[in-house]
């Protein structure tokens, strides 16, 4: 079954409103919603903010029958070409806040884990064609950098760009990716750019987040139409 996760209500509410035959599955800390969206059986949920919530929620989804996972939400643009409203489709995900360098590991590497988790080619292709069908939306495929930090300064965003080459920064994708990879379950992360992770990020995020969350949702609906 396809699982769709967002971190916040604004990221899933438009999909939840359209879910047919909705059944709520409550778990400690999160509720999964099972139903049919555009004719496709899905598990849909708001997992909460940050890597821990994302990992916990993804685990519940997998245990409840998810066989592919799509994350939909917003992000801070890191690639200099990205503008508010653009869509990023993940190529792979990294955890930019991991630092075990004193023990000789590369920055971003969790000991015993791969430094980056690759998104599924099939889901990426589906997202690419769905995004291509949404008029007036610019799409970039690239790396997603996740960490338990809201990036909101020029120095921080430039450092992230230099160190990871990520297209955008958010707080959940790599945790979803890590859990999915362990289970051999394909995933893709879709993000609409709500801000450019610089000194205006807080204001832009609050202004644009509910608006641009719709863009990622449109791509998800497009993917469902082709499943």
The nearest distance, CB 1 to ligand ADE, in angstroms, is: 27
Interface characters, 140-159, with ligand ADE (x: CB under 6 A): ----------xxx-------
195 is catalytic: yes
74 binds ligand ADE (CB under 6 A): yes
195, 216, 220, 223: residue in contact with ligand ADE (rule CB under 6 A):
195
75 binds ligand ADE (CB under 6 A): yes
- What's the CA gap between 116 and 221, in Å, rounded? 27
Q: Residues binding ligand ADE: what is the number (CB under 6 A)?
A: 14
Q: By Cβ distance, which residue is nearest to ligand ADE? A: 76
166 binds ligand ADE (CB under 6 A): no
Interface characters, 199-218, with ligand ADE (x: CB under 6 A): --x---x-------------
């Amino acid at each position: 079954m396809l699982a769709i996760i967002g971190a916040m209500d604004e990221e899933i509410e438009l999909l939840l409103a359209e879910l047919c035959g909705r059944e709520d599955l409550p778990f400690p800390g999160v509720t999964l919603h099972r139903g049919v969206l555009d004719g496709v059986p899905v598990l849909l949920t708001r997992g909460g903010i940050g890597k821990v919530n994302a990992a916990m929620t993804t685990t519940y989804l997998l245990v409840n029958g998810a066989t592919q996972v799509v994350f939909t939400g917003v992000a801070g643009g890191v690639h200099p070409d990205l503008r508010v409203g653009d869509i990023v489709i993940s190529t792979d995900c990294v955890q930019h806040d991991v630092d075990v360098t004193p023990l000789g590991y590369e920055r971003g590497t969790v000991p015993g884990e791969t430094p980056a988790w690759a998104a599924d080619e099939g889901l990426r292709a589906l997202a690419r064609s769905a995004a291509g069908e949404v008029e007036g939306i610019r799409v970039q495929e690239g790396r997603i950098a996740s960490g338990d930090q809201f990036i909101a300064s020029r120095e921080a965003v430039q450092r992230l760009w230099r160190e990871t080459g990520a297209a955008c920064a958010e707080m959940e994708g790599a945790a979803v990716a890590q859990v999915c990879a362990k289970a051999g379950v394909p995933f893709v992360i879709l993000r609409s750019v709500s801000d450019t992770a610089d000194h205006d990020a807080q204001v832009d995020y609050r202004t644009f987040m509910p608006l641009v969350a719709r863009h990622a949702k449109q791509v998800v609906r497009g993917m469902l139409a082709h499943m």
